[in-house]
Amino acid sequence: MSPASTDGGGRAPVAEVGRTIVSEEQINARVAELGAQITEDFAGTRPLLVAVLRGAYIFLADLSRAIDLQVEIDFMAVSSYGNATTSSGVVRILKDLDEDLEGRHVIVVEDIIDSGLTLSYLRRNLANRGAASVDVCALLVREGRQKVDQDLRYVGFEIPPDFVVGYGLDVSGRYRNLSYIAEFVGGDGH
């Protein structure tokens, strides 16, 4: 186990967390840029932001406030990780949308894209429901891990293929509340 690090806010050390990958300041600046770009690209519309729970909830909250349009928000919960640190590749919808997608401009808000298999499934699923468009706004993309070619319109950061936590990302439910993104060095997540 590596030495403990602080949570970036001066609080007590956090075990199992390694080096900072993306700082709180970098996140805040990039979210503002993404919000401005979405505002410009979707001017005159009311896009539906679909957050993929649970990891994307903090990103969604910050991103929605950075968009200067009337937006609607809905949530989906899918599982492809369970309690592991690698995706199983099998996607299960645990909570479906409440909103009708017919004719809507949908922006899927994702915390991290790893293999891209889950995202590919979601995009097909949402497009088949009659959405006018389905775009993606991903906070993180792991370099070199995509098994599916993605047309990603909005990306926060490309990061190394390390397993990361913080800013909504977790391992076994822990570390979502960190204000930055850090490498997880604590083992298999149990």
In this structure, is residue 188 part of a structural domain?
A: no
Domain for residue 35, yes or no?
no
Cβ count within 10 A of residue 31:
23
What is the rounded distance in angstroms from the CA atom of residue 81 to the CA atom of residue 49? 23
| Confidence tier at 115 by pLDDT (50, 70, 90) | confident
Percent of the chain exceeding pLDDT 90 equals 61
Q: Is residue 4 part of a domain?
A: no
How is residue 187 written in tokens?
């083992």
Answer yes or no: 114 catalytic: yes
Assigned domain for 51 exists: yes
Confidence class of residue 148 from pLDDT cuts 50, 70 and 90? low
User: Choosing from 62, 114, 135, 170, which is the catalytic residue?
Assistant: 114
pLDDT at residue 84 is higher than 80: no
C-alpha span between 71 and 60 (Å, rounded): 11
**Residue at 23 is within a domain:** no
Partnered with residue 151 across adjacent β-strands are: none
Residue 38 lies in a domain: no
Please give the residue that has the higher pLDDT: either 39 or 185.
39
Strand order in the sheet with 17-22: 17-22, 181-184, 164-165
CATH number of domain containing 122: 3.40.50.2020
Least confident interval from 37-46, 89-98, 131-140, 158-167:
89-98
Question: What's the total number of domains in the chain?
Answer: 1
Give the domain extent around 58: 43-179
